[in-house]
Chain A
Amino acid sequence: MAQLKRILAGAMALCMAGAVFTACGDKTSDDDKGGSNGKTTLKDVEPAKAEDLVNTGKKYNIYVWNTEFKERFEKYYWDQRDEALWDGVEVNWVTNPNDDNNYQTKLDEAIKGQNDAADDDKIDMFLVEADYAMKYVNSDAPLDVIGEVGLTKDDLANQYKYTQDVMTDSSGTLKGVSWQATPGLFMYNTEYAKQVLGTDDPEEVQKAVADWDKFAETAQKMKDAGIFMVSGYDDTYRCFSNNVSAPWVTDGKITIDPQIQKWAEQTKEYTDKGFNNGTSLWDENWVAGQKIDGKVFGYFYSTWGIPFCLLPNTLDDPEGEQKEGNGGYGKWKACAGPQSYFWGGTWICGAYGSDNIAITRDIMLKMTCDTATMKSITENEQDYTNNKAAIKELIDGGYTNPFLGGQDHLSLLSDAADKIDLSNKISAYDQGCNEEFQKAMKDYFQGNATYDEALATFKTNITTKYGDLTMD
């Protein structure tokens, strides 16, 4: 027994040595924990002067999880970079896939080591998604966009307020900016609209899906015609999850919001009634439904949905020219849908300890504040940029989208973007909560488990993934 004690003590000593031992209760106050930022106004700080910004590093490290920003960066930033700042500096992308919090874990490790890292290994810039942005907003890792990176409130004036709200901490410090705004729409197959609703006019179709009751009525009509209203279980998720009354996590406790519960109930009903095709996001059948004869009426998509998914997926010849006649090109249209929502969004943050803050400023200015650049991104890439002036110029210039049969969907997106309000809706744990909840509920929809059983599965998974959270 004495021996066992000694072994135990030894093992304990070993692991204490490895980890910083914080005394009981000496953790961050519970207010911060998964707390949410309300609508705060940016506090008044003197913007850092451009000429004072450090720029001594030889390697500019950017932490990302996929290639999206990289592509924008190369196409729209690189040619107009401030070459003097970039002289002798090499850009280095550190890519870690996002799923299962892998990216966050890697980023957290890098942040933890930031002070001790060699100059060339320090993070200079990192990207975050809406689902876990809070975690970094509440931490001291990102630079103050105004006070430390040197953007002015004038520079930021054209950005959507909500994109700043997300990244503003409780003291009013802005911690990151985005080049895109991500309002969502309902994109529908015009051939099915004509066949079942007798019209493909966006305003008429909007009437048929104006609220969830109408939506279900139309779904029934579609079903009678052998068409699925939506493709799968997760399609409508963001409509509900963006309209919650409280975030997933408050004070370290997970709660299922009534809206989230409503999503589960409605999706179960849709599944049982055959309104959906039983797919999961991104899977093969989900993608296949986007063909013009794919037997799916519509998809809930945010702005990036067109260029990233719908467009490539609906073409008969993905390698061929993007024009009418190639699959569903020109045969989709968009309407606002039953409930306004947003989906996704990526923000860029400067990292504390960076030795190339001047470059960070240059990137942020040109990618997230420059009207001309952002206008051309929206024009060329169909990505809705975070610049009201750019969008307005396009709409006023009589913007039409040939992919959507000549529809001006920017006006719809613009309306939706104005309605986005994220105050008191997001927490730092959203990625895991959303993912695990959708996965767990799949069993309920498919009849493999009752709602309560699925909920129990969710509880086990989420409290293992996030050991610091509890759930009733």
Chain B
Amino acid sequence: MKKGISYAKWGYIFLIPFFVVYFIFSLVPILETFGYSFLDYVVSQGQAASIRNPSGGADNIINNGFCGFKNYADVLKSDGIFTLSFKNTTILWLIGFIPQIIVSLLLASWFTDIRLKLKAQGFFKTVMYMPNVIMASAISLLFFSLFIKNGAIDTMLGHPDMLNNVTGARIVVGLINFLMWYGNTTILLMAAMMGIDTSLYEAAQIDGANPTQVFWQITIPLIKPILAFVIVTSMIGGLQMYDVPYLIGGTAGNPVGVLKTMVSQIQLGKNSSVGAVSALSILIFIVSAILGFITLKLMDDKSVKSMYDKKKQPKKINMATSKK
């Protein structure tokens, strides 16, 4: 086998497109954002640039130069935009994700249950994935009109006016996220469960294990890596959450700002508070990179390492795309 050195250059060559594009469209902008995050830099929205006296410069830009970590300190204050929006984003994500993972685990275990033998599985799986293809904004608009005071569901539930109270609004956002993603999660978990050797189940059946025992003692331990993957990719999707809470709660994230997410804060301030929002962006970058690192660690043993070792795994559990 003379692979290796003589072919190594091809590895680098094939990586060129990825890295050139990544460098231009992601890395440079992030470095630039990084630079802004240390500047006391604001664009005044109350003034338009002078065009008759171009030499006078863009007088709507107020740049007071390097300001150290001031922007970071501001957004990290107890009522700063990072602190608030990070908390909100986390809560909104949990409210959507917890039911989603429970339902998806349940569905996936039903679909793969050799005794249950559900019919029309193809139909169910296809339909469950469908909400994912609609634009988030279309679903949000629809749910908004269902849950608004006197809307169809609001009336059905006896007028709780959910969109105007903290818990209610969070639940509606969580519900939309659930609806959009539970099919995807189910399919991923099913893929993992189908990778489990059926003889293990048969053995358990012979030993008289009930479905609950089978689930906790066989299924869960064996799908751990993909479960970790599902959790972390969903977290990443959560970090980017924007459309749904924005369409339900507007820029102010009503009620009481609990629907403000990190990305909505970038949107709010990106035209004016450039320094502060850049700091926020960099913090999001750091948080997501840490989450990325955790994913890597969680999956390390099972799938990633094997690739370097070039050992072919007998049963490979596959991962799918990250959400969004």
Contacts and interface: CB of A to CB of B under 8 A. Distances in A.
A and B touch in the complex (CB under 8 A): yes
B46 A427 contact: yes
Give the bracket for the number of chain A residues in contact with chain B. 35 or more
A12 B48 contact: no
Contacts of B57: 20, 22
Interface stretch (B173-181, B215-223, B247-255): B247-255
A464 B265 contact: yes
Contacts of A12: 35, 38-39, 66
B272 A352 contact: no
B48 A135 contact: yes
Contacts of B312: none
A249 to B, nearest CB: 7
Contact of B53 (A140, A249, A427, A439): A140
A118 interface: no
B321 interface: no
Interface residues of B, number: 62
B47 A428 contact: yes
A283 interface: yes
A22 B62 contact: yes
Given A465-B272, A468-B46, A457 B250 contact: no
Nearest to B275: A467
Interface string B226-260: 00000000000000000000000011101111000
B51 interface: yes
Contacts of B61: 19-20, 22
A245 interface: no
B269 A465 contact: yes
Given A100-B267, A108-B49, A111-B48, A466 B272 contact: yes
The winner among A18, A108, A352, A467 for most chain B CB atoms within 10 A is A467
A34 to B, nearest CB: 5
B273 A464 contact: yes
A115 interface: yes
Interface in B1-52: 28, 31-32, 34-36, 38-39, 41-52
Contacts of B149: 278-279, 285
B202 interface: no
Contacts of B274: 467
B271 interface: yes
A457 B257 contact: yes
Nearest to B30: A11
A376 interface: no
A463 B31 contact: no
B268 A464 contact: yes
Interface string A11-51: 11011101111101001100011100000000000000000
A439 B254 CA distance: 7
A448 interface: yes
Interface in B137-171: 145, 148-151, 161, 164-166
B42 to A, nearest CB: 4
Contact of B268 (A32, A288, A465): A465
B252 A22 contact: no
18 contacts: A8-B38, A20-B57, A22-B57, A100-B251, A140-B51, A140-B52, A141-B51, A278-B164, A283-B148, A284-B145, A284-B151, A285-B150, A439-B251, A448-B256, A460-B81, A464-B272, A465-B273, A466-B44
Given A442-B255, A463-B273, 17 more contacts: A11-B38, A12-B66, A19-B61, A22-B57, A24-B64, A33-B46, A104-B45, A112-B58, A140-B52, A352-B51, A353-B51, A427-B46, A428-B46, A440-B252, A446-B255, A448-B164, A461-B268
